[in-house]
Amino acid sequence: MGSNMGNMVCKLRKFLYGLKQSLKAWFGRFSKSMKNFRYKQSNSDHTFFLKHKKGKVTALIVDVDDMVITRNDLEEKAALQRHLASEFEMKDLGALNKPADTPIELNQHLGEYHDQKEVSISSAEAEYRGMAHGVCELLWIRNLLGEWGFKPKHVMQLNYDNKTAIDIAHNPMQHDITKHVEVDIHFIKEKLEAKIIEVPFAKSEDQLADIFTKAVTCKVFHNSLSKLGIDDIHAPT
């Protein structure tokens, strides 16, 4: 057999690297390892792990093949790093580098309609669905902070600049378009009545993203630039 080894080849039947199954298999093993080390997997974000110990907290979040650890317990952080290094090949990249603050362009597609009435209905629906999405984000943050041990002391505010959407949230029965957003309406109304959120009106001049999405006056434009920290590189010094 030894004389024929040079003519033999191996047939690759299946590989895992780069496939969805590989990520699922790796994360399953990683989750089990974290739980064995007495970390709790967050119900709000399954890539987030927490450990409370003697009034201190250590948190780890997974982003693709990177892990970020934050803590107020240096001893626990060191123990976690040793534990992970014993089971996984990893490299400590040091302190996390934060990206620079930049303005975010916020676009909203409302669709194209020919009836003016239809445009109004479509816009209100889109605004209300946007509000529902914002409420979901607030609730997610609220649950996440709760798992950290920070209980909310005040009602969470979702500042919104569309009065129609705010009116619908408080008085859904008075609007004909509510049949199109019935599920979102009950969801938001429930959170308003439970005093979990409130939706104060935000004036247009406070909407910094407006300079990216609509025509504004010169005064509003330059005020928004100033608030965003954007300078004119051609201005005389």
Write out pLDDT tens, residues 56-87.
889 999 887 788 888 888 899 889 989 988 98
Q: Would you state the structure tokens that stand for residue 230, as one six-digit string?
A: 């954007």
Confidence of residue 96 (pLDDT cuts 50, 70, 90): confident
Residues 50 and 57: beta-carbon distance below 8 Å: yes
Q: What is the C-alpha separation between 166 and 128, in angstroms, rounded?
A: 8
Asked if residue 71 lies in contact with residue 59, where contact means CB atoms within 8 angstroms, the answer is: yes
In angstroms, the CA 172 to CA 185 distance is: 7
CB of 198 within 8 A of CB of 157? yes
Question: What number of residues does the chain have?
Answer: 237
Q: How many C-beta atoms surround the C-beta of residue 188 within 10 A? A: 25
Backbone angles phi, psi at 50, to 5 degrees: -130, 150
Cβ neighbours, 10 Å, residue 29: 12
Please name the residue ranges forming H helices in the chain. Answer: 20-36, 74-87, 116-148, 163-170, 182-193, 210-213, 218-228
Residue 228 φ then ψ, to 5°: -80, -10
Mean pLDDT of 7-21: 69
pLDDT at 162 over 60: yes
> Which of 138, 128, 113, 137 has the alpha carbon at shortest distance from 182?
128
Question: Given a cut of 70, is residue 1 above it in pLDDT?
Answer: no
For residue 98, pLDDT over 90 is answered with no
Query: Which segment of 27-31, 44-48, 103-107, 166-170 scores lowest on mean pLDDT?
Result: 103-107
Average pLDDT of span 22-50: 88
Three-class DSSP category at 69: strand
